[in-house]
C-alpha cells in the first residue's frame, strides 16, 4: 500500500462506503489553500510531517515519515470537504452540554501520600521525580 | 423472550437482576457463580484473547467478600455478578495498560469511579479487557499485546475499540463488561459481536479513572446481553461524581434499575435518517434494520423520514476534533511520572538536543503504536499555528451544525433508528492497511458522539455473506435525545421481547 500517491483510500473504499462519503471536495477551499502546494500529490509534505513530529515529541524513521505523509494526506484530503460548509456566524461547539464550572468547598480532602504518587515513576530521588539533563550538552546525571 | 445465561450449571438466570437476587437470597453463592464463569473464561479465552489479564484469585477473593456482605444483610443490586473492564479504566493495585506498551507495568493507586461503584454494588471483578491501544481503532487490531477475536468467527475482528468488552459478553465469559465510547467504541463492537452496548449521554457516567482520549467525547458505558441488564448497570455506574467536573448533576430515572418493555408503542415516532440508508450500506444490514423497524411498527410505532444533512461531514469533524484532543491528552505520556521510560544512549545525544528531549521522543516513539502516533500527528497538525482556523475551529462549527441536525430531527420524532455499522465484521487485516477506510466505517456512530447523545446498539439479525461460512451478527442503533437512556433502552427491551437475536450464542468449543 501507500505507493499510489495517496489515491489508494478512495479506490479501496469505494465499494464499501455510502455514496455520500465519496463526494469530491471543491478545489478552491480555504482548507486546501495551504501546504498542499508543497507537494504535488500530498496535502502534507514530508517536512511538515517531520516538524509536526518534533512538536509532538516523536521520532519518525524515514519510512514512517513517508507513510504518515501519505496517510495523513488522505485523511486531510477527506477533511477538505468541510470548507464547503456554510459556517457563517456558527459558534464552534467545544462540549456537548452547556456546563458551568462547578466550585467545591475550599477544604482539604483525602489525597495520596508521596510514596504512592511516586510508586509508578521510572526514576525518583527523595520525594521527587527525576528527569535526564534538561540543557543540551549537559552530562546526564541519571 | 428470555433464555438462561450460561451461568452456574444447576441454576440458570435470565437476567442480571435475577442472578443478583439469587445471590442475595443465598440460593447460590457469589463464589459458586464466580467459579462457574471462571471455568468457562479460563477455557475459552486463550483462543479469543478478550482478557489482557484474567484474575481468578482476585475474583474468588472478591466473591467471598460479596457472600460475607450478603450474609450481613447488605442489599447489593449486582451481588455476585461477574464483571470485567476495558483496560482503559484504572483499577487499584491491578496493572492498567490501555493496551499500550507505554503503560506497561502501570499500577494505578486508585479505582475509577465506575469500578468502585460496581464493586460497592456487589459485582465481582474478573480482570481487564483487550482494546485498541488508547481506544484508537475500530477493530481491536491496534492492541499492542495480541488481537481479540470475534466469537462468531475467529477469523474476524470483534470491532473496536472496546473489542474485548464486547467479545467477552458475546462468548459468555462474563455477563457484564464496561467499555468506553469516543466515536462508536461501544456500539460498533456490540454490533459486531451481537450484544447490547450502551453509550450514555455525554457526562452521564463519571470518567474519573478513565484514561482520557478525547475529553469532549469520551463516555463510559456497559455491554450486556440485554437492554434490561445494560439499564441495571447504568443505574449503578451513572450519576454525578464530584471527582469528575464534567459529570452531569441530573438524577438517574428510577426505572433504569427495573427496566420493563413497553406494553404498546402507540404514539411513538421513530425517525429513520435518510443519510444512514444510502448506497454503500451492506444490503444484509439494510434489510435487517428495515425488518426491525417494521416489527416496531407492528407494535404501534410510526416511522418518520428525517434528515441529518451534515452527516457526510461527521468523519472529518470527528477525526479533527478527536485527534486534536488526543494529541493534548496523550502529551502526559512522557516517561516522567509513570509508564515506561526509554533513556537515550550517549550516542543518541549527538544531535544537539537535551537528554530530556531525547528521552521524551524515544519513550514516546517506542511506547506508542502506529495508529496512536498517526492520531497524535494529525491532532498536533490541526492545532498548529496557521492551521487552527481551517481545521479545529471549522470542525467545531460543523459539529454545532451536526448537533442542530439532531435537534431538528427530535422535533419531529422521539428516537432515531439506524444501522450501527455499514458493514459486517471484517477479517483481520482487511482494513488495517488503510486508515481512512477504517475511519469511514465509523460513519453511523460518530454523529451521535459528536452531539453527546445516548445511543444503544442491539442485535437485530444475522447474515452469512458469500465469503463467510458462519452467520455474523447485525447491529441496530437507537439514538435518543440527551438524558433519555431509559427511553431508548425501554424501546430496545421491547424489541428484545419480540425477538431472540440477543439470546443467540456463537458455537464455541468448551
Give the number of C-alpha atoms closer than 13 A to the C-alpha of residue B241, restricted to the C-beta side. Answer: 20
Report the 3 state secondary structure along B406-464. Answer: HHHHCCCCCEEEEECCCCCCCECCCCCCCHHHHHHCCHHHHHHHHHCCCEEEEEEEEEC
What is the least distance, in Å, from the CA of A133 to any CA of chain B? 5
- Answer yes or no: is pLDDT of A12 > 70: no
The sign one gets for the Cα dihedral B399, B405, B410, B413 is: negative
- Answer yes or no: is pLDDT of A16 > 50: no
Query: Over the Cα atoms of chain A, what is R_g?
Result: 24
For cell 507495568, name the residue.
B105
The sign one gets for the Cα dihedral B408, B409, B410, B412 is: positive
Count helices and strands (H / E) in chain B: 15, 11
- Answer yes or no: is pLDDT of A38 > 60: no
CA B289 and chain centroid, separation: 21
CA–CA distance, B46 with B51 (Å, rounded to integer): 9
CA–CA distance, B271 with B267 (Å, rounded to integer): 13
Quick one: pLDDT at residue A35?
A: 35
Please indicate, yes or no, whether the overall pTM of this predicted structure exceeds 0.80: yes
Q: Please indicate whether, in this complex, the C-beta atoms of A120 and B106 are within 8 angstroms of each other.
A: yes
At B321, give phi and psi (nearest 5°): -70, -45
Cβ atoms of B490 and B199 within 8 Å: the answer is: no
Quick one: pLDDT at residue A11?
A: 32
Quick one: pLDDT at residue B350?
A: 83
CA–CA distance, B432 with A55 (Å, rounded to integer): 26
Quick one: pLDDT at residue B431?
A: 86
If pLDDT is split at 50, 70 and 90, which confidence band does A139 have?
low
List, as one string, the DSSP characters of B226-272.
Answer: SHHHHHHHHHHHBS--TT-TTS--PPPPGGGGG----S--TT-EEEE
* Residue B316: closest CA among B397, B200, B421, B380: B397
CA–CA distance, B445 with B416 (Å, rounded to integer): 12
Quick one: pLDDT at residue B112?
A: 98
- Residue ranges in chain B modelled with pLDDT below 70: 1-11, 510
Quick one: pLDDT at residue A25?
A: 39
pLDDT > 70: percent of chain A: 67
**Could you tell me the CA-to-CA distances from B127 to A94, B199, B406 in Å, in that order?**
34, 21, 38
Judged by a CB distance cut-off of 8 A, whether residue A3 touches chain B is no
Quick one: pLDDT at residue B172?
A: 95
CA A128 and chain centroid, separation: 31
Quick one: pLDDT at residue B117?
A: 98
ipTM of the complex: 0.91
Quick one: pLDDT at residue A97?
A: 82
CA–CA distance, A34 with B397 (Å, rounded to integer): 20
Quick one: pLDDT at residue A37?
A: 33
**Contact residues on chain A for B337, CB-CB shorter than 8 A:** 120-121, 129
- Answer yes or no: is pLDDT of A5 > 60: no
Quick one: pLDDT at residue B1?
A: 43
Using CB atoms and an 8 Å cut-off, which of residues 34-93 of chain A contact chain B?
34, 44, 48-49, 52-53, 55-60, 64, 68, 71-72, 74-76, 78-79, 81-83, 85, 87, 90-93
Quick one: pLDDT at residue B174?
A: 97
Cβ atoms of B368 and B376 within 8 Å: the answer is: yes
**Contact residues on chain A for B381, CB-CB shorter than 8 A:** 44, 48, 52, 72, 76
If pLDDT is split at 50, 70 and 90, which confidence band does A110 have?
confident
Amino acid at each position: 500500500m501507500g505507493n499510489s500517491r495517496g489515491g489508494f483510500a478512495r479506490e479501496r473504499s469505494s465499494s464499501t462506503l455510502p455514496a455520500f462519503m465519496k463526494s469530491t471536495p471543491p478545489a478552491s477551499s480555504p482548507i486546501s489553500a495551504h501546504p498542499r502546494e508543497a507537494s504535488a500529490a500530498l496535502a502534507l509534505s514530508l517536512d511538515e510531517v517531520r516538524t509536526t513530529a518534533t512538536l509532538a515529541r516523536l521520532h519518525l524513521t524515514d519510512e514512517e515519515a513517508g507513510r504518515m505523509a501519505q496517510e495523513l494526506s488522505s485523511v486531510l484530503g477527506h477533511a477538505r470537504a468541510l470548507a464547503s460548509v456554510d459556517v457563517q456566524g456558527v459558534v464552534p461547539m467545544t462540549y456537548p452540554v452547556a456546563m458551568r464550572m462547578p466550585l467545591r468547598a475550599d477544604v482539604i480532602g483525602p489525597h495520596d501520600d508521596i510514596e504512592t504518587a511516586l510508586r509508578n515513576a521510572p526514576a525518583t530521588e527523595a520525594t521527587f521525580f527525576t528527569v535526564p539533563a534538561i540543557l543540551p550538552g549537559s552530562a546526564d546525571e541519571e | 423472550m428470555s433464555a438462561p445465561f450460561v451461568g452456574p450449571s444447576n441454576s440458570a438466570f435470565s437476567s442480571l437482576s435475577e442472578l443478583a437476587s439469587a445471590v442475595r437470597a443465598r440460593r447460590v453463592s457469589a463464589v459458586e457463580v464466580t467459579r462457574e464463569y471462571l471455568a468457562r473464561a479460563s477455557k475459552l479465552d486463550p483462543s479469543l484473547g478478550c482478557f489482557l489479564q484474567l484474575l481468578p484469585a482476585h475474583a474468588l477473593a472478591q466473591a467471598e467478600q460479596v457472600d460475607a456482605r450478603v450474609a450481613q444483610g447488605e442489599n447489593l443490586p449486582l451481588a455476585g455478578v461477574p464483571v470485567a473492564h476495558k483496560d482503559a479504566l484504572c483499577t487499584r493495585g491491578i496493572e492498567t495498560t490501555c493496551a499500550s506498551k507505554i503503560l506497561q507495568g502501570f499500577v494505578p493507586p486508585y479505582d475509577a469511579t465506575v469500578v468502585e461503584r460496581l464493586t460497592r454494588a456487589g459485582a465481582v471483578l474478573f480482570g481487564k479487557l483487550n482494546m485498541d491501544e488508547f481506544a484508537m481503532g475500530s477493530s481491536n487490531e491496534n492492541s499492542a499485546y495480541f488481537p481479540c477475536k470475534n466469537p462468531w468467527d475467529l477469523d474476524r475482528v470483534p470491532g473496536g475499540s472496546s473489542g474485548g468488552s464486547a467479545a467477552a459478553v458475546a462468548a459468555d465469559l462474563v455477563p457484564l463488561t464496561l467499555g468506553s465510547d469516543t466515536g462508536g467504541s461501544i456500539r460498533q463492537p456490540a454490533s459486531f459481536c451481537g450484544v447490547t452496548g450502551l453509550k450514555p449521554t455525554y457526562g452521564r457516567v463519571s470518567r474519573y479513572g478513565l484514561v482520557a482520549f478525547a475529553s469532549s467525547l469520551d463516555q463510559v458505558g456497559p455491554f450486556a446481553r440485554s437492554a434490561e441488564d445494560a439499564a441495571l448497570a447504568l443505574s449503578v455506574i451513572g450519576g454525578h461524581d464530584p471527582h469528575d467536573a464534567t459529570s452531569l448533576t441530573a438524577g438517574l430515572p428510577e426505572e433504569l434499575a427495573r427496566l420493563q418493555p413497553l406494553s404498546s408503542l402507540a404514539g411513538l415516532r421513530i425517525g429513520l435518517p435518510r443519510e444512514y440508508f444510502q448506497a454503500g450500506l451492506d444490503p444484509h444490514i439494510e434489510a435487517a434494520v428495515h425488518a426491525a423497524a417494521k416489527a416496531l411498527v407492528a407494535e404501534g410505532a410510526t416511522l418518520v423520514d428525517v434528515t441529518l444533512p451534515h452527516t457526510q461531514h461527521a468523519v472529518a469533524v470527528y477525526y479533527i476534533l478527536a485527534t486534536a484532543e488526543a494529541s493534548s491528552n496523550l502529551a502526559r505520556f512522557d516517561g516522567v511520572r509513570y509508564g515506561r521510560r526509554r533513556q537515550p544512549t550517549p550516542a543518541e545525544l549527538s544531535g544537539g538536543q537535551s537528554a530530556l528531549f531525547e528521552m521524551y521522543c524515544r519513550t514516546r516513539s517506542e511506547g506508542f503504536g502506529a495508529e496512536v502516533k498517526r492520531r497524535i500527528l494529525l491532532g498536533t497538525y490541526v492545532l498548529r499555528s496557521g492551521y487552527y482556523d481551517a481545521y479545529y475551529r471549522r470542525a467545531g462549527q460543523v459539529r454545532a451544525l451536526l448537533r442542530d441536525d439532531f435537534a431538528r430531527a427530535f422535533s419531529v420524532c422521539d428516537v432515531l433508528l439506524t444501522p450501527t455499522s455499514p458493514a459486517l465484521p471484517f477479517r483481520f487485516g482487511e482494513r488495517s492497511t488503510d486508515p481512512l477506510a477504517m475511519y469511514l466505517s465509523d460513519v453511523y456512530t460518530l454523529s451521535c458522539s459528536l452531539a453527546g447523545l445516548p445511543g444503544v446498539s442491539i442485535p437485530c439479525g444475522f447474515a452469512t455473506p458469500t465469503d463467510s461460512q458462519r452467520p455474523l451478527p447485525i447491529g441496530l442503533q437507537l439514538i435518543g435525545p440527551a438524558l433519555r437512556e431509559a427511553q431508548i433502552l425501554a424501546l430496545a427491551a421491547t424489541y428484545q421481547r419480540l425477538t431472540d437475536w440477543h439470546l443467540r450464542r456463537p458455537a464455541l468449543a468448551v
